[in-house]
């Protein structure tokens, strides 16, 4: 019994020294990730220890390649299953949002905007309101208020800048 264990240990040691690089190349060729291939190669030799009692010098090479093939197949199966699960989760899970909180924040910002809007000069406030809330263009506002388009654009520019600065201070 002692000699069988000693013999199988020496077979494993010799096969590790002789076939490590060959098995590593075999696995790397199939999965292309060097660091994972090194781990899988180690797994091949660890699994070889499970067959310690059955090893013979003339069959160890075939054992190694069979184990390596099975480990690579398992790895690829797990990899694609993980990809499938990740894809399913990505497609089906809705992003978590707190709609109530977002609504409250939006309402607060709207109230603050209206407060700041009330402090603007009348003509600028009217131009900003028509553009922001009624979605009118500069040309439409200019025609409606009988102002030049350039004056309307100037009021919009100043009004938006004031609003940005106001929100920057508030937030």
47-80 per-position pLDDT tens digit: 988 888 888 888 888 989 999 999 999 999 999 9
Scan for tokens 């299953």, then name that residue: 81
CA distance linking residue 150 with residue 142, whole number of Å? 8
Q: What pLDDT, on a 0 to 100 scale, did the predictor assign at position 26? A: 94
Higher pLDDT, 83 or 54: 83
- Structural tokens at position 23: 């098995």
Q: Which residue has the higher pLDDT, 7 or 78?
A: 78
pLDDT at 2: 42
Rg (CA), the chain: 36
Looking at residue 4, what is its pLDDT? 52
The rounded mean pLDDT for the chain is 87
pLDDT greater at residue 95 or residue 161: 161
The region of weakest confidence among 18-27, 49-58, 144-153 is 49-58
* Distance separating alpha carbons of residues 97 and 94, to the nearest angstrom: 9
Has residue 5 got a pLDDT over 80? no
């Amino acid at each position: 019994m002692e000699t069988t264990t000693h013999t199988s240990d020496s077979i494993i040691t010799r096969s590790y020294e002789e076939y490590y690089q060959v098995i590593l190349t075999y696995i790397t060729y199939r999965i292309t990730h060097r660091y994972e291939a090194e781990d899988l190669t180690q797994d091949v030799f660890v699994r070889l220890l499970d067959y310690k009692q059955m090893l013979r010098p003339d069959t160890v090479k075939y054992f190694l390649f069979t184990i390596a093939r099975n480990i690579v197949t398992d790895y690829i199966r797990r990899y694609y299953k993980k990809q499938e699960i990740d894809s399913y989760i990505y497609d089906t899970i809705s992003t978590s949002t707190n709609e109530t909180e977002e609504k409250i924040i939006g309402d607060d910002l709207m109230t603050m905007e209206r407060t700041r809007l009330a402090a603007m000069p009348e003509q600028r406030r009217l131009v900003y309101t028509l553009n922001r809330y009624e979605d009118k263009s500069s040309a439409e506002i200019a025609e409606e208020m009988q102002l030049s388009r350039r004056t309307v654009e100037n009021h919009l520019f100043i009004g938006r800048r004031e609003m940005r600065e106001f929100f920057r201070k508030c937030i």
